[in-house]
Amino acid sequence: MELLTGFLVGLMGSFHCIGMCGPIAVALPKSKPLILSRLLYNTGRVFTYSLLGLLFGLLGSRLQMIGLQQAISISLGVLIVLSVVTPPSYRTKITNSLGLYKVIGLLKVSFAKMFKMHSMASMLIIGVLNGLLPCGFVYIGITGAITIGNPLESMLFMTMFGAGTIPVMLGTSIIGGVINMNIRQRLTRLLPAFSIILAVIFILRGLNLGIPYISPKIENKQVQSQEVICH
């Protein structure tokens, strides 16, 4: 279930991410063979997402061990809702206050160096760097990775997230304008609703209601370990 969710989040998010990553994908050096170079670029992105899934999965597992996974799941769901209802101007101020513009600046310098090269290795590195760009849907994916609470499953979740972005991003990098602007705008209007649905799922997971797939029972590993020690 988590793998399918990861793929769908990536697929839906890819239409939104064209705004951030689309210009990079279109401007990629015309390295030959073209298809291979674009596949390497997308492989680099998926690698970064997988690594992020592993790292945040480790964080989620630690939170689960100390009994905070439910609270974190609910909190992250609420944050997603707040991010959707917050006006864009305030979101920009928050982004600037967190210093993310500095990260983007450093990535741009690295991009400029890699774009001067036309090797297959540079295509892979551009993809890896691309995966580090600030993106709302990547954050949602990371939220899912944290709530899973298992490093391996979280890594696979983010790998499927990356796989979900490949159809649109691969087409964009090869053809350029693969998605009609009107279609993209219509899909973009659906993204806030999709984000809210995901937020509700995260909140329900945190409530531990015992509903299969939606709000399964979360075992408290801390309590279990204490019981073993007592016996």
Lowest mean pLDDT among 20-24, 134-138, 172-176, 212-216: 212-216
pLDDT tens per residue across span 121-166: 999 999 999 999 888 788 888 988 998 889 999 999 999 999 999 9
Mean of the per-residue pLDDT values of the chain: 81
- pTM metric for this prediction: 0.80
Q: Residue 30: pLDDT above 70?
A: yes
Extract the runs of DSSP E, i.e. beta strands, from the chain.
Answer: none
Q: Within 13 Å of residue 189, how many CA atoms lie on the same side as its CB?
A: 5
What pLDDT score was predicted for residue 212? 66
Q: Which residue has the higher pLDDT, 167 or 100?
A: 167
CA gap 137, 154 in Å, rounded: 16
Tokens standing for 13? 């998010």
Q: Which residue has the higher pLDDT, 25 or 45?
A: 45
What is the phi/psi pair of residue 117, to 5°? -100, 150
| pLDDT bucket at 5, cuts 50 / 70 / 90 | confident
Helix, strand and coil in the chain, % to nearest 5: 80, 0, 20
Range of the domain at 171: 2-230
Tokens standing for 203? 């909140």
**Are the beta carbons of 191 and 34 closer than 8 angstroms?**
no
Contact residues for 115 (Cβ-Cβ < 8 A; gap 6+):
27, 28, 29, 122, 126
Exposed/middle/buried for 20, CB within 10 Å: 0-12, 13-18, 19+?
A: middle
Say how many domains are in the chain: 1
pLDDT tens per residue across span 157-208: 999 999 999 988 888 888 765 556 666 667 667 778 888 888 898 888 888 7
